[in-house]
Amino acid sequence: MPSILSIFVALVLLRLLYNRLRLFGIPGPWLAAYTRLWKLHSVWQGDHHHTAIDLHRKYGPLVRIGPRHVSVSDPKAIPIIYGINKGFTKTAFFPLQSISWNRKPQMNLFSARDERFHREQRRPVASAYSMTHILERESAVDTCTDLFLTQLRTMADAKASVDLGMWLQYYAFDVVGEITFAQKLGFLEQGRDVDGMIQAIRGMLAYASVCGQVPEAHPLLLGNPLFPIFLPQMESWNQVVVFTLKAINQRASLSRNGEVDKADSHDDGNDMMSRWMAIHHADPERLSTRDLIVHLSANVFAGSDTTAIALRAILYYLIHHPDAMSKVQHEVDMADQAARLSNPISYQESIAHLPYLSAVIKEAMRLHPSVGLIIERHVPAPGITLCGRHLPGGTVVGINPWVVHRDPTVFPEPESFLPERWLESGPEQLQAMEKAFFNFGAGTRSCPGKTISLLEMHKIIPQLLREFDIRTCREPSWKTKNVWFVQQEEFICYLQARSTS
């Protein structure tokens, strides 16, 4: 009679063999065909985006990175995987990036897997993310710009080095605060990580990126349903949720049953919380108190990090390409002398009069997109053919922005910083580049807050370059770590006031 150990070993070997044969013929690291340990280790190292680029250069458009996981590099696959009504659904990776409230996880627009639930959640709030509505808060964003520049001038006058990367994140946080809550979050004024929110978000991302490779482990770890029961204080560990609840309580009262008290609320402003409170009071079933908390906290969680990453990337590539820096500053100076720019520079002025800057912004986001892992989707039954290979239903596929942005057929000299490609390419090539540009995702699940990010980039970058010459004070200029978002650290710079007369 075989021992239990022998049976267990046989079952494990059969499972490994099944894993190996399931996607047989799709190339990749040999260990990845048998177990997710390869993928887990690669993500844990914090440099998976570069690993993914190297793998696709070695193996081609399809790379097996797990027993059921395939990374895709072909830009033509974007509308297939992420297109509307294609049947590709989000995987268990995404719910890990949810807040906990009322002792259970609460799905947001990013983490929700159910498409019907996502549509119902998106419908009442989507209009608040339109550029038309975001621009109604532009004057409030300008107050953030004024405060940011005041702080930078002080440091420049003192000839002190500046952790510009961190200050850009302070700026992004306060802008999100003004657009979402009609108040700054205090980062620029205090010049520090208020309530440890930046550190908390980085910790949550680090956990989600690693645990997300084996999401079945989450219910045994931070997703353990017993934790909120025996440790109800866990919800107070999430500084983003705590701040959101404080912001709501400044406008309205949260009653004991967790509902917003309409009598105490003031919701006649044009910030997102005011808009959404008005919807809630008109029809609580359309937008519940839970929905308010989830959408508001998601803005804070996602809106600062991704924008700060893009802002750092733009300045990094300009600093390391002096010719491009000179072109941008010359373009800003000429528009300024022609009285086409106000102070602070408006979004519309930047879009209309600074075309080379727009190309720089796009090229920097191409080379350093915020997301550094594949954006996972389940292949629907009965399967799909991608890049000439049939993938069975249930296979996890996805595209990594770092990989697709370096497709040489779409982006010649893909590793080179060439803003001119966005200005000088022919119509067909430009269209191909636009379709392959994956910084904000694609389809109905693309980033709803991209308008906020674009507003900040087009306003603060020309403002900084009109006023300062910027250089780094060390090489390498920064360190990067891929925790789902490819974050940069230690972007230390010197700023010197410019004279454009």
CA distance linking residue 422 with residue 425, whole number of Å = 6
Cα torsion 205, 211, 217, 219 to 10°: value is 10
Residues pairing with 69 in the sheet = 396
Residue 370 is encoded by which pair of tokens?
């915020």
CB atoms within 10 A of CB 25: 9
Letter for the amino acid at 95? P
Q: Is 447 annotated as a binding residue?
A: yes
Length reported for the chain: 501
Letter for the amino acid at 440? F
CA distance linking residue 458 with residue 121, whole number of Å = 29
Q: Give Cα 251 distance to the centre of its chain.
A: 28
- Write down the H helix ranges in 3-106: 4-22, 37-44, 48-59, 78-82
Segment (H or E) for 365: helix 355-367
- Residue 214 DSSP symbol: S
Q: Are strands 396-399 and 69-72 parallel, antiparallel or unpaired?
A: parallel
For the chain, give me the number of helices (H) and strands (E)? Answer: 22, 15
Binding-site members for heme are 447
Question: Which residues are annotated binding-site positions?
Answer: 447
